[in-house]
């Protein structure tokens, strides 16, 4: 898979991190410690000079008790269209995996919608998300093996899978050009 172009404005992440860290009442040091990242890395992200991986942002979201989308969602107008290949995209540093946020939770709702693309190779291992998270996955193209660790299920285009996202889980492309939609529900 070719690398995703850099479409994730760092100003969105920096502003979101500052907002959520202040809401949680955490210092830079405390949040970095809870997320298992270097304080200097967090400082760079809040200054909009870092280049975070999906793993770093997930760790920060879990440490802050917020969904991943709360850290990467763009400002939204009343009508929003995201064309194929557009939208805020974050790549994994451990697998051929990129997540594009399609829809973040509006106030009062707790669900996020992603379009994911993945190539065969290394599986994307995901640590537990915030408690109560449930994932819903629909395969668009290719084949994917997904689900909680030790309970992965092979899926084909059109197949739907739901499972707890607050336990370790993984995604693995079985064929080139695998794409799927992932809805993360936060209860």
Cα separation of 147 and 151, whole Å? 6
**Which of 149, 141, 187, 140 is CA-nearest to residue 171?**
149
Full DSSP string of 11-49: HHHHHHHHHHHHHHT--HHHHHHHHTS-HHHHHHHHTT-
Backbone dihedral angles phi then psi of residue 59, each to the nearest 5 degrees: -60, -45
When the pLDDT of each residue in the chain is averaged and rounded to a whole number, the result is: 85
Backbone dihedral angles phi then psi of residue 107, each to the nearest 5 degrees: -55, 135
Residue 142 contacts residue 175 (beta carbons within 8 Å):
yes
The partner residues of 137 in beta bridges, in order of sequence, read 161, 182
**pTM here?**
0.57
pLDDT at 73: 76
**Model confidence over 103-151: pLDDT tens digits?**
776 666 688 889 999 999 999 999 999 888 888 889 999 999 999 999 8
Cα separation of 10 and 57, whole Å? 12
Which residues of the chain are modeled with pLDDT < 50?
Answer: 1-7, 78
């Amino acid at each position: 898979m070719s690398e995703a172009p850099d479409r994730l404005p760092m100003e969105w992440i920096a502003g979101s991190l500052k907002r959520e860290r202040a809401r949680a009442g955490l210092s830079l040091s405390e949040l970095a410690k809870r997320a298992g990242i270097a304080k200097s890395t967090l400082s760079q992200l809040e200054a909009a000079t870092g280049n975070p991986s999906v793993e770093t942002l997930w760790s920060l979201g879990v440490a802050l008790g917020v969904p991943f989308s709360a850290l990467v969602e763009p400002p939204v107008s009343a009508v929003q269209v995201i064309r194929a290949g557009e939208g805020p995209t974050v790549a994994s540093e451990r697998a051929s995996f990129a997540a594009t946020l399609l829809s973040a939770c509006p106030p009062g709702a707790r669900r996020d919608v992603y379009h994911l693309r993945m190539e065969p190779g290394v599986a994307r291992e995901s640590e537990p998300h915030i408690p109560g998270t449930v994932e819903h996955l629909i395969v668009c193209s290719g084949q994917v093996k997904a689900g909680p660790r030790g309970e992965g299920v092979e899926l084909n285009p059109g197949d739907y899978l739901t499972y707890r996202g607050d336990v370790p889980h993984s995604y693995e492309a079985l064929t080139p050009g695998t794409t799927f939609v992932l809805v993360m529900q936060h209860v």
